[in-house]
Amino acid sequence: MKILIQFPEGLKQKALNHAKKLESEGNEVFISASPNFGACDLALDEAKNLGVDKLIHYGHAEFNRVDFDVEYVPYEIDAPLDLLPKSLEYLKDFSTISIVTTVQHLHQLEKLKEFYESSGKKVVIGKPYGFAKHQGQILGCDIGSAASVDGKVDAHVYFGGGIFHPLGALLSTKKPFLVIEPFDNKIEFIDAMREKYQRMSKGKVLASLEARSIGIMVSTKNGQHNLKLAGILKKKIEESGLSAGIIVSNTFDFDSINNMMEFDAFVNTACPRIAIDDTERLRKPLLSANELMQVLSMKKELSQMRERS
């Protein structure tokens, strides 16, 4: 069998070992060297161009169904639970909590739940919106496991590495958000980041009020392609008397986009985190679809005020 194997950046150092194992079983194996941002970013073009029989994607659970034979191999990582007793000091004022984590630690979710329940907490495990496949799991683009239970809990607890995953959940919830990073031996509430990103969002909206041309970013990645939304936004932009163009790429190069100086602002329809995490990489405002609608609404109100004055 001809196989293409694909790894996220943090697991690429394991690629050769897995390739050799598959070759020892009689397979012809290729290794994808393309950047990978998750199961929304399958190496389908490479797989089809190589004519392989199967793509094996390591490190993530299934994201969405595709017309190709894809095998998903999530990586389970046993994180130390040493910080859990200390986390009770941070949670002493909260009786009901939700717990969220990434696919790498989902197998530990039951142990986390049992610990907090034995410590007198009521634990609620939420359901994802659909991209994530397991209760309690969050992705950068699917924070349903936290947002769906925000009204039922006093606080949220994220267990895992890094700030990427809990940041998306934080911005879609209102309750206190505690992050436990077991490998960095760190516990902290990240609530202050809500205000920071809300200010950034307002700043982008205000900076876009004078925009007369807007570039609409469309990704060709399997799980990020949203040409339908781009078409809707283009129509709304043009109905507002502005100029719009759809720009397409698999992985957006922000230096290249900065060269598109005819555009006064950009709106993202790809991974929703681009308009949050990458906004400072562009010289022009980089808006989400919701922020764009705020801009168009405010421009309409300003126009009506000018007409009345």
Taken in order 230, 231, 236, 237, the sign of the CA dihedral is positive
Tell me: pLDDT of 236 over 80. yes
Rounded to an integer, the average pLDDT of 249-258 is 94
Predicted TM-score of the model (pTM): 0.87
Q: In what order do the strands lie in the sheet with 286-287?
A: 243-249, 213-219, 265-268, 286-287
Taken in order 54, 57, 61, 67, the sign of the CA dihedral is negative
Tell me: pLDDT of 305 over 90. no
CA pair distance 139, 66, nearest whole angstrom: 19
**Residue 87 to residues 32, 94, 114: CA-CA distances in angstroms?**
40, 12, 14
Query: Closest Cα partner for 265 from 273, 256, 257?
Result: 257
**pLDDT value of residue 307:** 76
Average pLDDT of the chain, as a whole number:
95
Beta bridge mates, 259 = none
**pLDDT value of residue 10:** 87
**pLDDT value of residue 6:** 98
**pLDDT value of residue 131:** 86
**pLDDT value of residue 97:** 98
Burial class of residue 183 (count of CB atoms within 10 Å of its CB; 0-12, 13-18, 19+): exposed
Tell me: pLDDT of 300 over 90. no
**Tens-digit pLDDT profile for residues 4-40:** 999 999 899 999 999 999 999 999 999 999 999 899 9
Tell me: pLDDT of 234 over 90. yes
CA pair distance 16, 55, nearest whole angstrom: 15
CA pair distance 148, 177, nearest whole angstrom: 14
**Torsion angles phi and psi, residue 44, rounded to 5:** -75, -40
**Tens-digit pLDDT profile for residues 98-153:** 999 999 999 999 999 999 999 999 999 999 998 888 999 999 889 999 999 999 99
List of domains in the chain: 2-73 (3.40.50.11840), 84-190 (3.40.50.11850), 200-308 (3.40.50.11860)
For residue 116, count other CB atoms closer than 10 A to its CB.
Answer: 18
**Tens-digit pLDDT profile for residues 48-103:** 999 999 999 999 988 888 999 999 998 899 999 999 999 999 999 999 999 999 99
Taken in order 88, 90, 94, 100, the sign of the CA dihedral is negative
